[in-house]
Structure 1
């Protein structure tokens, strides 16, 4: 018998290789094994019984080893994709007892994949990484010492963990379902329990300010969903588009503690749902459940319900413990927008009918009335309030949000309530109480109405827009009517034109005669007093404005341009009258600039210029009155603290106003002086940008310009200080600085007693690098902020203050990001490193001089020689590195 020669193809080698793979948990290519086996059989011919047995055992070991699935932890430098893990259904890591698995998975009937943590026996998803953007089955999950990165098949990054100060050593999955990143000392760098999506499980804490965000639907995971579950300082609430419709304290079976402690977090366990406060041992609110040793799960479903259940042992088995709200009609969008819910049955309210093209929607029964869109949903929404408005009465209805908010105004009649809604393009309906005069506004979105006859005193009215529709026989009679009406209209128009021309000529002759008799003014003053632009706002008489302001008695503001007084015109309209301070040549230019710019633009987020006055050296501007004053006064003053939702809405209003200036006008307008003092607020926090005296207009072919320095210290973009061209991205920089002040609730360069000086933009950059956004929030809010919105605003603000203007987003993109239609980009650290220098200069100057509001520190380096168009005060010394004082940075005022 010929001797047997052992080779790499021998079955005994397969056996030991497979056993070694099983012990080391390293993957072996099945294709390679099959190839080796085929070659071995070809060389060896028929195998013996022993050889066949060894091969069978080897195959058995391979089938149960799951070599590509790690248990409990994995070290860095791993790359996974669903395509590579298809034999393991995308699983690459399991917890110690396999209760939970980490996998690349998709939902049923979907080809979109996500990095997720899943309860293994029931296949219940409890956390998702890339909710905003899915990947294909070829997309990758890359785990390195820098963290976790999810990218699509083209390499585009769609999600990643934040930067860390120390390298990542382990990726660990615990039996609690918590996925962690640890460093070499086993310190937790990041964990999924701190970043919930729509679900929490037993032992997981939902901190104050954090939210659960529902999926858009059962197949679509997206953070833009309308439903949120948020833990506040006093309760847990559910909201739809920011309007509350449920809170935990409403549930009668729960128990509320009598202490006045602030809530710290919410937790669910085997015995119930709890809100903890104080030192994390005080139970503020508890809702008891039947004791269970199984894992409990709480989910905000895409339907708007908050469901608590117990995970079973079989796929899809979840035992339902309770559901809130328990009434279908209490869910804001159960029936859809503008529909009526009665006992879970949906229909159209009285006065409405089903739409012809969309039967599941309701439209006014009167075909001449249409429903306007809110101004944040329609590019031309601000024009709708100019049309005729008619209100449709709702019979025997309630609206979910009325029980959770205070009225916008009280002790007013229905007409005043409707007028308040008509003047607000975001208002779509009102509820008014005849007995108390309370007025509630429904803004931006309308959900389902609730059928109810219990409170007949609170009546709803839906805002409609009247349309002029042709009659049925108009087409047949059009020719005859046209033959009669067109000549008459032409004749009437001709008479009007001739009359206006004669009146204009007469007024012009009277003006010239008056100027001829007046020799007390210089020729330049006379020339300026004849300044007039057809189509501009009303020109008031000086005496009329003196009477309106009681001889300029009540001062409501002052600044570089002049002093602002409160006044009341003869028609009882309250106005703000600004007396210009600068009377020189620059003052004339500023005055002309402000009239020319603001007189011809109309937008809901831009202050309206009602008129102006010229009298010798007196120049006055008449604005609409904003009763809450400036954002600077409201944000930094001693009054009521602006809540997070109010701040977010103000930022969005500012962005829309700037977007209109940059893209909605015939000529692009660069404001040049965006700061809190130039943002005005009305009683309902309507936002309007003002003070256009420094604005620059760009022609259709211009993208930028060179100009003298203008603006305010602390908000000036770096390009103002070089010979770089000035573009609309300079306004974006100033906007980013204002957003940072909105987040912090104080000036970026402020110093508090007994606290070391901190330049806030630098702190924002450092906290972004650490992923600790909650530390940037205004402490007066006590954590009352949407965690994802806070992160979004911080990232957006940093993107807006990139040193390179090209990297800053346009204001159109900023609006898209704030409204949720565009994802915020990751800030470019390399283009933000200049903030470290600014921060160092601020700290040095603060240490020497004490108070930030008195500092004349030199924050901005002038890297290049100034352009010849720059003012002499801005130039440095022959190319040496020079700096500019705060007075210089203020520009011409």
Structure 2
């Protein structure tokens, strides 16, 4: 057994006869290579390590693919992630520096699966295809010194795909959570599986086993009045794509309900934007996500008991109401006084029930349209922040306070309170909730909830212990570690790439700057503050809007009456990248040399004249990594080109930073003539 984890059978002359690295199961280790036709199979469940439902394979055609399998057979069902490298992919390499990438036959890097390199001298590492279908790169510190005092545990460095719930589709298969189940992504980026009301897990010990109906299906006997025994439970932002057998357009929700109720084959109806889809059992690839929209109407049998309302309270079944009517009819024959008394009692019961149901719904589940996150009352947040006592930061029209949620074991949060309750501030609030609630990425600050009560507008975010990148760069008496700055650049680029290219609704952030990049206790960078964000429609690539952003980071096209695209964020990222490289602000008036006042101009002059050492100054770590420093400077100059057409998209920027593509010599950024 070698230190690498490779189990080897060798001859006396050390010639290898057999090695476990040639026969992987669900895991790759550093120094291990996956050749064409090599594959990983997931385990069946968290504790059952027999072959499971997912496969990772470098095909003979050169394409690297993640598949769902036709369990218990091993044939492929649906490709939910791939590198699209037909004819070129040759080897998957996990090197000693912690990078995982796909190469061509000539050694050219085609795709980075994990570019957040971590030294194998300090960390154990593994790349595992787990039972939930997600490929995760794990790291584990070899000593307590590697953790900076944090607990020693396996932590996830990179995972693919970013949202397993939305990526798996197809007309067959159970998706990430099994037949009839639904999948939602948790805060730890792991799928959470559940069953609709009236259904339960087939195997309580396997959350991905799928769900079974706990009631008799509707009879198709024409003489039966079975529809009277069924009702609906609503589930917002839920769908089982691929299970429909009928589709109707330009109809109302009530029409959709009645159409499903009168159809013995209909198990679920999906209503969205005037469209109604009828779905039959079994249901495939269920998912809950704010990007889905609409609602699922789950048809369940009411029987002779009450139906549990998932939003609180009980709904009397039709048979219960019939019983009340019959009992009332029998008793109401005695006297006028008794009639009035009973009538008053029935009315009191009805109004109390309706009031209780309405109150429960409003208090427990209040959402903005299309948003499916927790709603807080103002008093809850006032108590959580101890009367808005500890201020974390302040913006143009908002202040951020530190708080702790008592009902979540004292979980520390950041509460952003909008100071100006004007139309513009209200629009900013709705924009931030609408945009970030649709996102889910490890390099975006997670929105936990909001308050929209009277004149109060507040947002509740995860707490980022280290604070902003601005504090980290500009208020630190010691120059921050070069390699940490490199990782911050990678993370910020990944977050922007997700907003621009991987979100269901493309988002232009419009205000990328160090103050809006926050760092957790491990110095993992996450983009925050979506108050100025601009959402684009699915078929839209540009927009026109008033000037947004912060002076020094605003792209020139804002001032030239040009259409605004995702390239404005690329420009801002270029400025931020230069600040990361040089640990100084883009504009500093008190420098000795006048040509160094504006960092962007000075950086291009240094590059053009071959004097990058002036930018590096006394940063010994950057000097030792001068080739990467030069590549990053060139990438930043491409990003800040005044001509938006010359700026690369963020995915290209990521590849330039990672080294998977060459960075050509950039032109003078100010050469563009309006």
* TM-score, reference length from structure 2: 0.54
Q: Retained in 1: the 8 A contact 2:655–2:661? A: yes
Q: Retained in 2: the 8 A contact 1:402–1:440? A: no
Q: Retained in 2: the 8 A contact 1:370–1:466? A: no
Residue of 542, 554, 564 corresponding to 2:378: 542
Q: Retained in 2: the 8 A contact 1:372–1:465? A: no
Cα distance change of structure 1 residues 688 and 778 upon mapping to structure 2, 3 Å threshold: farther
Q: Retained in 1: the 8 A contact 2:639–2:647? A: yes
Alignment of 1:564-713 (within 5 A): 564-570=400-406, 571=408, 572-638=410-476, 640-713=478-551
Q: Retained in 1: the 8 A contact 2:376–2:449? A: yes
Does 730-739 or 495-504 show the bigger shift? 495-504
Q: Partner of 2:140 in structure 1?
A: 430
Cα distance change of structure 1 residues 495 and 585 upon mapping to structure 2, 3 Å threshold: same
Aligned residues: 431
Provide the rounded CA distance (Å) in 1 between the counterparts of 2:617 and 2:135: 30
Q: Retained in 2: the 8 A contact 1:644–1:785? A: no
Cα distance, 1:666 vs structure 2: 2.7
Provide the rounded CA distance (Å) in 1 between the counterparts of 2:514 and 2:435: 20
Provide the rounded CA distance (Å) in 2 between the counterparts of 1:599 and 1:763: 39
* Offset from partner CA, 1:627-665 (integer Å, 9 cap, x none): 111111111122553322221221111111111111222
Cα distance change of structure 1 residues 750 and 636 upon mapping to structure 2, 3 Å threshold: same
Structure 2: runs of 5+ lacking an equivalent: 28-33, 44-48, 58-63, 68-79, 82-95, 99-117, 160-187, 194-201, 203-208, 219-229, 231-265, 269-296, 302-306, 316-353
Cα distance, 1:560 vs structure 2: 1.5
Provide the rounded CA distance (Å) in 2 between the counterparts of 1:464 and 1:616: 34
Alignment of 1:737-756 (within 5 A): 737-752=575-590, 754=592, 756=594
* Offset from partner CA, 1:560-604 (integer Å, 9 cap, x none): 231111111121221110111221110111111111111111112
Cα distance, 1:735 vs structure 2: 0.7
Cα distance change of structure 1 residues 540 and 785 upon mapping to structure 2, 3 Å threshold: farther
Q: Retained in 1: the 8 A contact 2:371–2:433? A: no
Provide the rounded CA distance (Å) in 1 between the counterparts of 2:484 and 2:415: 27
Cα distance, 1:357 vs structure 2: 9.1
Q: Partner of 1:792 in structure 2?
A: 631
Q: Retained in 2: the 8 A contact 1:694–1:711? A: yes
Cα distance change of structure 1 residues 777 and 432 upon mapping to structure 2, 3 Å threshold: closer
Provide the rounded CA distance (Å) in 2 between the counterparts of 1:820 and 1:403: 20
Provide the rounded CA distance (Å) in 1 between the counterparts of 2:414 and 2:66: 28
Alignment of 1:465-614 (within 5 A): 490=267, 493-495=298-300, 499=309, 509-510=358-359, 532-570=368-406, 571=408, 572-614=410-452
Cα distance change of structure 1 residues 620 and 587 upon mapping to structure 2, 3 Å threshold: same
Q: Retained in 1: the 8 A contact 2:371–2:434? A: no
Q: Partner of 2:662 in structure 1?
A: 823
Q: Retained in 1: the 8 A contact 2:544–2:562? A: yes
* Offset from partner CA, 1:5-30 (integer Å, 9 cap, x none): xxxxxxxxxxxxxxxxxxxxxxxxxx
Cα distance, 1:746 vs structure 2: 0.7
Q: Retained in 1: the 8 A contact 2:140–2:152? A: yes
Structure 1: runs of 5+ lacking an equivalent: 1-327, 333-337, 385-397, 409-417, 447-462, 472-477, 515-529, 835-862, 865-893
Cα distance, 1:685 vs structure 2: 2.0
What SS does the corresponding residue of 2:298 show, helix, strand or coil? helix
Cα distance change of structure 1 residues 464 and 592 upon mapping to structure 2, 3 Å threshold: closer
Q: Retained in 2: the 8 A contact 1:799–1:825? A: no
Provide the rounded CA distance (Å) in 2 between the counterparts of 1:532 and 1:467: 23
Provide the rounded CA distance (Å) in 2 between the counterparts of 1:399 and 1:823: 20
Cα distance, 1:607 vs structure 2: 1.3
Cα distance change of structure 1 residues 444 and 498 upon mapping to structure 2, 3 Å threshold: closer
Provide the rounded CA distance (Å) in 2 between the counterparts of 1:587 and 1:465: 34
Cα distance, 1:675 vs structure 2: 0.3
Q: Retained in 2: the 8 A contact 1:679–1:688? A: yes
* Offset from partner CA, 1:753-801 (integer Å, 9 cap, x none): 6554532111111122123333322634554552221111111111111
Q: Retained in 1: the 8 A contact 2:124–2:141? A: no
Q: Partner of 1:730 in structure 2?
A: 568
Provide the rounded CA distance (Å) in 1 between the counterparts of 2:460 and 2:362: 27
Alignment of 1:438-449 (within 5 A): 439=152
* Offset from partner CA, 1:380-427 (integer Å, 9 cap, x none): 9xx99xxxxxxxxxxxxx99988843899xxxxxxxxx9xxx9x9964
Alignment of 1:128-527 (within 5 A): 339-340=6-7, 347-348=19-20, 353=25, 366-368=50-52, 404-405=121-122, 427-430=137-140, 439=152, 490=267, 493-495=298-300, 499=309, 509-510=358-359
What SS does the corresponding residue of 2:633 show, helix, strand or coil? helix
Cα distance, 1:511 vs structure 2: 9.6
Cα distance change of structure 1 residues 694 and 442 upon mapping to structure 2, 3 Å threshold: closer
What SS does the corresponding residue of 2:379 show, helix, strand or coil? helix
Q: Retained in 1: the 8 A contact 2:403–2:415? A: yes
What SS does the corresponding residue of 2:51 show, helix, strand or coil? coil
* Offset from partner CA, 1:106-153 (integer Å, 9 cap, x none): xxxxxxxxxxxxxxxxxxxxxxxxxxxxxxxxxxxxxxxxxxxxxxxx
Provide the rounded CA distance (Å) in 1 between the counterparts of 2:571 and 2:382: 39
Provide the rounded CA distance (Å) in 2 between the counterparts of 1:379 and 1:770: 47
Cα distance, 1:698 vs structure 2: 1.6
What SS does the corresponding residue of 2:402 show, helix, strand or coil? strand
* Offset from partner CA, 1:302-341 (integer Å, 9 cap, x none): xxxxxxxxxxxxxxxxxxxxxxxxxx967x7xxxxx7457
Cα distance change of structure 1 residues 700 and 682 upon mapping to structure 2, 3 Å threshold: same
Provide the rounded CA distance (Å) in 2 between the counterparts of 1:755 and 1:788: 26
Cα distance change of structure 1 residues 493 and 782 upon mapping to structure 2, 3 Å threshold: closer
Q: Partner of 1:223 in structure 2?
A: none
RMSD: 5.0
What SS does the corresponding residue of 2:400 show, helix, strand or coil? strand
Provide the rounded CA distance (Å) in 1 between the counterparts of 2:615 and 2:355: 63
Provide the rounded CA distance (Å) in 2 between the counterparts of 1:402 and 1:823: 24
* Offset from partner CA, 1:833-882 (integer Å, 9 cap, x none): 47xxxxxxxxxxxxxxxxxxxxxxxxxxxx98xxxxxxxxxxxxxxxxxx
Q: Partner of 2:179 in structure 1?
A: none
Provide the rounded CA distance (Å) in 2 between the counterparts of 1:666 and 1:500: 28
